[in-house]
Amino acid sequence: MSANVEPRRWGASLEPNLFELGRDGRRATVMPAWDGDPVDVTLPAAYLRTDPCDLPSLSEPEVMRHYTRLSNLNHHIERGMYPLGSCTMKYNPRLNEVVAAMPGFADLHPEQDEEDIQGLLCALNLLQDALCRITGFDACSLVPAAGAQGEFLGMHVIRALHLANGEPHRVEVLIPDSAHGTNPASVVLTGMKPLTIASGVDGRLDPEVVRAAVGPNTAGIMITNPNTLGLFETDIVEVARIVHEAGGRLYMDGANMNAILGKAHPAKMGFDVVHLNLHKTMSTPHGGGGPGAGPICVTAELAPFLPGPTIVEADGVFHLDDHEGECRPAIHAYQGNVGVCLRALAYILRLGGDGLERVAERAVLNANYLLRRVVDEGLLQVDHPDGCLHEFIATGRDWKEAYGVRTLDVAKRLLDYGVHAPTIYFPLIVEEAMMIEPTETESRETLDEFVEILRAVRAEAAADPEILHRAPVHTPVGRMDEARAARQPDLSWLGPCNCG
Ligand SMILES: Cc1ncc(COP(=O)(O)O)c(C=O)c1O
């Protein structure tokens, strides 16, 4: 295989901002003068401006070029591979954006009467049905706006069931040590108590460890399947039996559902609740802080504890049932992030059952292809190298020992080659972890190129580790103080007069 890869320059580091680009008198749009009756809008004097707002003056092409340049300073899936494990940064078909932006959906107001929004209610009802079929459950709530919010709602629903059954003491929730950090956080927010249990040497849950941990206070267990090591929990049916016999319920973190779409039903595995990350699995990009959707699907036993209002159909007409007099949770306005839900519906309908299965097959095939190549060609060490589902976890342990470079340095150098870095240092149970998820939308050529990039970076580490310590050098900004960037973000341009 030829090593035809080299670092590439991303773009200029210092783009002029809109204020510097602006020239007095330029305009992007000139609105026609109002020719209707004068409108009397009286605002309180305290809110009125006393001097004109100092906004930049630019033409439309200048604005377009500015934002296009800015967008290219960042890495995105249209620019190159994005193997950010656990985040499923795959390509999302544009058609689904078109569907979500259709005026019959996008121009609605959530306070409109039911008869005005029949099309939307029908679409959301279809999505609920589709998600129930995909997961094998009886009822669905589209309301949660993120995976973590789905977890919170799911745990709340389990807590509500125990309270309704007169078992308020059931507050302990078992969580494997490989879990995503949001899992214990969601449990704590519902007033329950997370108890960490160790994964077995094969990276999976050991039913005997679960048996030893359950007791009269067990509320349930939260399991990610496939787990964050990219492995399917093969003893899940036995684990479900043990937890149910102890009176607990099973929550599945279904954020990794892209690996088993159409192949396995969470309900058949013995789970009682699952959340899906529509913004990973079904056509909305994860990351970037944009809107998400983390719907939950539940068994009939838990359905009465879902948030209202719920969509019900009678004789082809859709209604929003407020469940008056019932105590239902409220976690988000209206029906959640509807645009994300519409993209997911378009994604499901366009692919159909066979297409969804192919998504899972290709996600798993791509991850295994990459796993085999990086392990067999001595580029990365993997603690569980015998196969994975949609992602695998490598360790940078040997890079550290042999060349004195850390996983962080490898990740930063990959940026110089034009690919996004994998997720690093997660899961916590793998030393110097690199979590690699190629996703089903990458071609074999792209995967091969990623292997060549890793080979080139490994050769650099062997020849001169300083290259990696200094990286990235081709990105618009170099290595940042990430703690400071998170704690003291500098998000606004202060203008020449405020800069001191
Ligand atoms: C396994 C797992 N669980 C939960 C979450 C949380 O989802 P969100 O970021 O939407 O809150 C993620 C996010 O990637 C995840 O990978």
**Beta-strand relationship, 381-382 and 392-395:** antiparallel
The rounded distance, in Å, linking the Cα atoms of 464 and 460 is 6
Share of the chain above pLDDT 70, in %: 96
Q: In the numeric block, which tokens belong to residue 359?
A: 């998504």
State in Å: Cα 148 to ligand 1 middle. 6
Q: Whose CA is nearest to atom 8 of ligand 1?
A: 147
- 294: Cβ below 6 Å to ligand 1? yes
Q: How far is the CA of 481 from the centre of ligand 1 (A)?
A: 25
Q: What is the pLDDT of residue 11?
A: 64
What pLDDT, on the 0 to 100 scale, is given for residue 500? 33
Q: Would you say the C-alpha torsion 72, 78, 83, 87 has a positive or negative sign?
A: positive
Q: Write out the DSSP string of 236-271.
A: HHHHHHHHHHTT-EEEEEETTGGGTTTT--HHHHT-
> Is the CB–ligand 1 distance for residue 89 below 6 Å?
no
**pLDDT above 90 (res 476):** no
Query: Token pair for residue 108?
Result: 């609605």
Average pLDDT of span 11-34: 80
Q: From the CA of 244, how far away is ligand 1's center (Å)? A: 25
pLDDT of residue 13: 55
CA of 199 to the centre of ligand 1 (A): 19
Shortest-distance atom of ligand 1 to CA 86: 16
Q: Tell me, what's the pLDDT at 494?
A: 64
What average pLDDT does the structure give for the chain? 93
At residue 16, the pLDDT reads: 77
The residue nearest atom 9 of ligand 1, judged by CA position, is: 147
Query: 80 burial class (0-12, 13-18, 19+ CB within 10 angstroms)?
Result: middle
Residue 251: pLDDT over 60: yes
Task: Provide the CB-side half-sphere exposure for 410 (13 A, CA).
Answer: 33
With cut-offs at 50, 70 and 90, classify the pLDDT of residue 3. Answer: low
Please, are residues 176 and 169 in contact by the beta-carbon 8 Å criterion? no
Residue 148 CA: nearest ligand 1 atom is 11
Domains defined for the chain, CATH in brackets: 97-350 (3.40.640.10), 354-477 (3.90.1150.10)
Confidence check: pLDDT of 71 > 90: no
- Which secondary-structure segment (H or E) carries 346? helix 338-376
Does residue 232 surpass a pLDDT of 60? yes
Rounded Cα gap, residues 287 and 146, in angstroms: 11
| Coil/strand/helix, residue 472 | coil
pLDDT at 480: 85
pLDDT digits (tens, 9 = 90+) for 409-467: 999 999 999 999 999 999 999 999 999 999 999 999 999 999 999 999 999 999 999 99
Question: In this structure, which residue's CA is closest to atom 6 in ligand 1?
Answer: 147
Nearest-atom index, ligand 1, CA of 151: 4
Q: Which of 89, 143, 151, 182 for a ligand 1 pocket mutation test, highest count of atoms within 8 Å of Cβ?
A: 182
Q: How far is the CA of 493 from the centre of ligand 1 (A)?
A: 32
Average the pLDDT over 75-101 and give the result.
93
Which band of pLDDT confidence, cut at 50, 70 and 90, is reported for residue 289? low
149 CA: nearest ligand 1 atom: 11
The residue whose CA is least distant from atom 13 of ligand 1 is 87
pLDDT at 498: 40
Tell whether ligand 1 has an atom less than 6 A from the beta carbon of residue 255: yes
* Residue 187 CA to ligand 1 centre (angstroms): 14
Q: Of 281, 286, 437, 294, give the one whose Cα is nearest residue 351.
A: 281
Give residues with Cβ within 8 angstroms of 330, minimum separation 6.
307, 308
What average pLDDT does this structure show over 78-92?
93
| Residue nearest atom 14 of ligand 1, based on CA coordinates | 87
CA-wise closest residue to 157 among 295, 338, 291, 277 = 295
307 CB within 6 A, ligand 1:
no
What is the percentage of the chain residues whose pLDDT exceeds 90? 79
Question: What's the average model confidence in pLDDT over 386-398?
Answer: 97
Q: If you measure from the C-alpha of residue 462 to the centroid of ligand 1, how many angstroms do you get, rounded to a whole number? A: 35
What letter would DSSP give residue 16? P
CA distance linking residue 444 with residue 369, whole number of Å? 9
The pLDDT, as a whole number, for residue 125 is 98
Query: Which residue has a Cα nearest atom 5 of ligand 1?
Result: 147
Q: State in Å: Cα 45 to ligand 1 middle.
A: 46
CA 180 to ligand 1 center in whole angstroms: 7
pLDDT category, 497, cuts 50, 70, 90? very low
Amino acid residing at 422: P
Handedness of CA 148, 367, 136, 205 (dihedral sign): negative
- Let me know if 276 is exposed, middle or buried by CB neighbors in 10 A (0-12, 13-18, 19+): buried
Tally of residues, the chain: 500
345 within ligand 1 shell (Cβ under 6 A): no
Q: Where are the beta strands (DSSP E) in 177-326?
A: 193-197, 218-224, 249-254, 273-276, 296-298, 310-314, 317-321
Per-residue model confidence (pLDDT) at position 53: 83
Cα(60) to ligand 1 centroid in Å equals 38
pLDDT tens digits, residue range 148-195? 999 999 999 999 999 999 999 999 999 999 999 999 999 999 999 999
Which among 86, 183, 256, 275 is the best mutation to test ligand 1's pocket, defined by most ligand atoms within 8 Å of the CB?
A: 86
**CA 442 / ligand 1 centre spacing (Å):** 22
Query: For residue 287, how far is its CA from the centre of ligand 1 (angstroms)?
Result: 10
More confident residue, 491 or 234: 234
